[in-house]
């Protein structure tokens, strides 16, 4: 069974909701990304999205765009680098599931067969490709299923018929976008968010997770009542941006990691 499935099953038995942070790999560098992953698991994260830096991240707001720019310009981070972070984190003792978040072009350029061979060999459990529509994902879906990697779809509060169609083809969980537009910290969510989540819940037996804009314990608690998982991205990436000077200073590194871990512990509640 896929590691995502077993983790959600365990959390359901414990009456808990998964906390799923997002990180941009290679920001500020790959070694620190591994250390942050370790700190997040210790702080209570249940799964983690490994974000592949990309030069044209259409779904990402300014915080994650800046992180991608730093990773690409300063460290020339590649898709393969990001996947190898998963291997290094496993070697460091991390056990939670890894979900790779990447745009389609890096996957296509790498080669689909070679990509899935690499993903499978490095212990990636899930894959999110936000710019790959359901109408064009058949080849990727087949290769993902053969590799026991869940292709996790994003659904937004737009067309109800499309939400149902996407949800019924999902694997692992359904990623419910809380707001229209790009990622980023926000105070308000889509006005029909509760009805939207109910629609997704009715369309699938899989767990559902909500993301885009969630940044506080209060917001996490608000969605825990309706969802099996809550995804927090920009708020964590922004905090990493703020503590980069500490992370890059050997004498301040542990303090920087502690700030990130404490924030995740607070989100977990």
Give me Rg for the CA atoms of the chain. Answer: 17
Handedness of CA 218, 221, 222, 228 (dihedral sign): positive
Residue 195 burial class via C-beta count within 10 angstroms: exposed 0-12, middle 13-18, buried 19 and up? exposed
Quick one: three-class SS letters along 38-101? HHHHHHCCCCEEEECCCCCCCCCCHHHHHHHHHHHHHHCCCHHHHHHHHHHHHHCCCCCCEEEE
Task: Say which of 60, 131, 161, 218 is annotated catalytic.
Answer: 60
Q: Is 46 a catalytic residue?
A: no
The catalytic position among 41, 49, 224, 241 is: 49
> Would you call 60 a catalytic residue per the annotation?
yes
* Residues involved in catalysis: 49, 60
């Amino acid at each position: 069974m896929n590691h995502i499935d077993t983790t959600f099953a365990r959390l359901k038995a414990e009456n808990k909701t998964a906390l799923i942070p997002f990180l941009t790999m290679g920001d500020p560098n790959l070694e620190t990304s591994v250390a942050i992953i370790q700190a997040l698991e210790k702080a209570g994260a249940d799964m983690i999205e490994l974000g592949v830096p990309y030069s044209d991240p259409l779904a990402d707001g300014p915080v994650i765009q800046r992180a991608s720019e730093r990773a690409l310009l300063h460290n020339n981070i590649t898709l393969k680098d990001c996947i190898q972070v998963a291997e290094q984190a496993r070697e460091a003792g991390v056990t939670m599931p890894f979900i790779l978040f990447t745009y389609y072009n890096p996957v296509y350029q790498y080669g689909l067969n070679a990509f899935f061979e690499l993903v499978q060999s490095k212990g990636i459990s899930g894959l999110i490709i936000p710019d790959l529509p359901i109408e064009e994902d058949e080849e990727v879906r087949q290769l993902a299923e053969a590799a026991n990697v869940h292709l996790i779809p994003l659904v937004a509060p737009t067309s109800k018929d499309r939400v149902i169609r996407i949800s019924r083809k999902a694997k692992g969980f359904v990623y419910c976008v809380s707001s229209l537009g790009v990622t980023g910290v926000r105070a308000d969510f889509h006005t029909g968010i509760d009805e939207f989540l109910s629609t997704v819940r009715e369309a699938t037996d899989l767990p559902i997770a909500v993301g885009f804009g969630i940044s506080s314990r209060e917001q996490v608690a608000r969605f825990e009542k309706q969802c099996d998982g809550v995804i927090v991205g920009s708020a964590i990436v922004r905090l990493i941006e703020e503590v980069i000077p500490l992370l890059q200073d050997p004498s301040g590194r542990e303090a920087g990691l502690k700030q990130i871990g404490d924030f995740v512990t607070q989100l977990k509640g």
